[in-house]
Amino acid sequence: MYKTTSILLASLMMGTTALAGHGSTSIIIDNRFDGKADVFIDGYFSGEIRGDTKMSFKTRPGNSDVLVLRDGGAVLLNKRIHSHQGESTTVRVIPPEGTLNVRNTGRAPLLVTADSRTSWISPGTSTNLVVTTGNVRVTSKIEDRYGRATTVDTQTVWLEPGKRGNATVKYEPPARTGITIKNRDHHTLQVRIGNRDYGMVRPGAEMFASVEPGYAWVTVSRVGGPVKFSGNVAVKRGADSKVVVDEDKSGKVYKEDGKKLMTWDDTDDHDRWGRHDDRHDHSRSRWRWRW
């Protein structure tokens, strides 16, 4: 009888010990933020977790206050978690949003995308984009006249939670060689360079024609109307010569730095004075050189 009672008591004690030690209670922190953070459970420092990783922390059953902080003090998570005996509870750290100021310091408008937020940014201006903090991928694109986009720059900038970030985008169009026709007339203009017809330019618009370095004979006329400009235009490699046609009776050629080079006046007879030549009487020539 005594032996049987002892065996039963031993069995009960072993069962109770096994039940008490069955499994551990823990909280798993799933850090979706790109940077490391400090973890506090019930006010006590429990450890440091790296960015984009998971880490398990032992705790007691019941309620636990979990606080996840960046080094600078920004709160990534502040939540009360209820844990059951022998179970693991997973809690995710979701990166907060922040403001990224993107400035375009180049000479071309750019279509900028940051963390799926997209905006056109004109040269010399900036815009604020609300994005997810951490590593932010910034992509810049340009579009041609047919609406086709080309990526010209990709960069990754860091945006700290609780702080405003800054990014700079820039695109310098490659040097091009040719002639730009600017129409400041109130009529549509027809453009011809050498023996080639380059089409029409609407009022207020401009057209760039790729031309080999040297001299190119340019004729600009109103559609079905008089000639507004006709003359030999110097084209330097890597430079963009500009012909500006105004509403008056003259066309103007500008150098790359914007300085006026010469003025063409159509008040004289075109057949006689259409070309600049040293043999002409410069007092009557259609060309008036202004250096």
> Structural domains in the chain?
25-93 (2.60.40.1120), 97-169 (2.60.40), 178-289 (2.60.40)
Reported as a single tens digit per residue, the pLDDT across 125-138 is 999 999 999 999 99
Sequence-ordered list of residues with C-beta below 8 angstroms from that of 103, at least 6 positions apart, any chain: 121, 125, 126, 166, 167, 168, 169
Global model pTM greater than 0.75: no
Sorted by sequence, the CB contacts under 8 Å of residue 69 that are 6+ apart come out as 37, 38, 40, 75, 76
Q: What is the mean pLDDT of residues 132-155?
A: 92
Question: Does residue 276 have a pLDDT over 50?
Answer: no
Structure tokens at 193: 């360079």
Decide if 267 contacts 249 (C-beta within 8 A). Answer: yes
pLDDT of residue 22: 52
Q: Which of 63, 71, 79, 73 is nearest to 29 (CA)?
A: 79
Q: Would you call 39 helix, strand, or coil by DSSP? A: strand
Which DSSP helix (H) or strand (E) runs through 83? strand 75-83
Phi, psi of 123 (to 5 degrees): -55, 135
CB contact at 8 A, 185 and 200: no
Q: What's the pLDDT band for 252 if we cut at 50, 70, 90?
A: low
